[in-house]
Structure 1
Amino acid sequence: MAEANETRDIFVTGLKNAHAMENQALSIMKPQVSRIENYPEVAQKLEQHIRETEGQIARLDEILGSLSESHSSLKDMALSMTGAMAALGHTVAGDEIIKNSFANFAFENFEIAAYKSLLTVAELGGFPAAMSGLKANLDEEVNMAQWIDHNLRSLTIKFASLKEAGQTAKV
């Protein structure tokens, strides 16, 4: 029975970490979208993913609640502050939109890895009720990472073209 409790503890910790991670994602994306002027397709996709992320947090809350657990406010706050600082750091870059895209792509892949791990622990620990919510979150993260991957070239071309034309290309 101790082994089952250990797996449950690993799962709950992972869920709390994922909840904080999604709050961090919001604190990264919201400032980005508020600054975008020349890249409406990026703004639209970020706005969509912000709504998805809010849904992911709700799914994680539901899974935690089903285990009689709740998220860690301290972890949520700490990672949200870290995310806000990361977003702020790119605002001084002359190629802010490009740097944001790199960071977002890396973060999406981090989230993908986190959800794959959580799905594995859910399977090992016998938490089948959590699988559909975690899979939905994973699918949304994979879709966002693929979108960034497929659009990075055109975004870079647009950035370079605006820069060459002497226009504001930053955001």
Structure 2
Amino acid sequence: MAEIKDTLADWLRDAYAMENQAVEMLERQTERLEHYPDMLAKVREHVAVTRRQADRVRECLQRLGTDTSSIKTGIGMLIGNAQSLSGIFASDEVVKAGIFNYAFEQFEIANYRVLVATARQIGDAEVARLLEENLREEEEMAAWIESNLPQLTQTYLQRKMAGQHAEAKR
């Protein structure tokens, strides 16, 4: 059982880095969404949610008697910055960001399902509960993105056809 607990701790460190990566990526997106107020509001809201999720993951690590990995966290933050900047020169950046955000939410959901199952395997109900809370929030965000991608796309296309700035601000 100790080996599984060590594996869970390692995966939790990865999850902590993943959440920090998400914060970096989302914060960069908020800088360029002036023409998309619904998406801007939801991304800002999710930044706060993501910070709370990182705090819960850290709490899980502390319950297991360990802490985060500064190396993994730093790498995750660098990757988040790179991902957010990768589409900055694309005129359809906002649509691509919506697609990427949806895919990233699915990635997070899969990770939290694995973490919850592992916490249950070692019999830590409190860690499982904390991780289930993160899972529920990620599922909510994924559902929001899924239901709003058509409208985001429509707004982008309408602005483009009208000769307005369809892209996010630079």
Q: Aligned pair count?
A: 168
Which aligned pairs between 1:1-171 and structure 2 lie closer than 5 A? Answer: 4-171=1-168
Q: Deviations over 1:28-74 (max 9, x none)?
A: 10000111110010010001100000100111111111111100010
Query: What CA distance in whole angstroms lies between the structure 2 residues aligned with 1:158 and 1:97?
Result: 10
Query: What CA distance in whole angstroms lies between the structure 2 residues aligned with 1:145 and 1:79?
Result: 20
Q: Is the 8 A contact 2:117 2:128 kept in 1?
A: no
Query: What CA distance in whole angstroms lies between the structure 2 residues aligned with 1:13 and 1:126?
Result: 17
Which amino acid in structure 1 is aligned with residue 102 of structure 2?
F
| Aligned Cα root-mean-square deviation (Å) | 0.7
The structural deviation recorded for 1:127 is: 1.3
- TM-score, with length taken from structure 1: 0.97
Which amino acid in structure 2 is aligned with residue 70 of structure 1?
D
Query: What CA distance in whole angstroms lies between the structure 1 residues aligned with 2:2 and 2:125?
Result: 16
Unaligned runs of 5+ in 1: none
- TM-score, with length taken from structure 2: 0.97
Percentage identity across paired residues of the two chains: 37
